[in-house]
Structure 1
């Protein structure tokens, strides 16, 4: 585990280390970031007290398809957050958002560089942003006072992620998908999926297909969503 006081982006730092030949298993945590980002380049505000950390996975011959790592990261983080907040308050939203009492607690960003997958985690431990297009929350705002120590939280996360990564490699996506479905919002939950071009599809949560894609039940049948921002309705 490496920790720095400040950086622009832990994902960028780990990507640079990956390009320089760093081995799988590296974890880098920053106390603050000046250039943190979420999916589609969104700004991720990074005040001290929250978790900002990235890890490195090297794809191997025989690994399951790489997109499944989004679910691996999600279930690993869910397991740790549930230990802190209680499983009844935590739920997963496709593909890898973590909800606490129905509000967004964290974000996970996966970026590929050749055989290297950089996975960044941002978790609202002490603070959460206001004025977003969806409600957000922190563990502190949810009543965990004092908020968890980021240095301890990331150690728990690294152990959880290592265990789920091993299962993904040894057993395939199925057990990870099953865990994800167990911890997701209920089947039939109303959702809207918004693609990069702005198109929206509204429907009911119908689970995941065998590859981890979102199944959305609409009036025209079940649609399979491979890439989109998904919001609860």
Structure 2
């Protein structure tokens, strides 16, 4: 996969690209990430990329021509152009999974009061990471890149990715490690029983219970198995 990130602050990504799993994915040739300084595409001799909005209003707006030029230079046949914006579709694990199948992503990082609206005619997707405002699109670009890259085969163990919270809709079951007991706090007996069938049953029940308790808003969005539907009915019945 190739990810091109268009930004006026490429230095923002220095640590992100040189740390942990992202660093290894780049070194192993599983992903290529290239940063592009938007000011290099400015039509202004001072490399200015913003101006006052037509019709008046507070602040400055990022200009259309630099984005037009950089998109047309970078875009190829299988490219998805993504603008990061609080007005976009909320980013979730389903979208991350879909994007992980792409061969080429271009991420546009906005600033100031946003980007000239004509850019919307050049993009494939507008994404928001949440209903709040940040100073720029660099942090969202890192979040989306991180979420997508870890789903690329061989970046992390496939079993780990498949069992993550939200990957199948549910939150992940509780997990424990050694010691088995510490100051009266014990690991559930079923997990040290050695009975993998009972452990699987316990984990299925726990992920449903945890989702109901922590994120009940997710339940109706999940495509459930017959077993999960039955367990959900039992949990709801016991609540009454």
- TM-score for the superposition, normalised by structure 1: 0.29
Q: Which structure's CA Rg is the greater one?
A: 2
Structure number with the higher helix fraction is 2
Structure number with the higher strand fraction is 1
- TM-score for the superposition, normalised by structure 2: 0.28
Structure with the bigger RCO (C-alpha within 8 Å, sep 6+) is 2
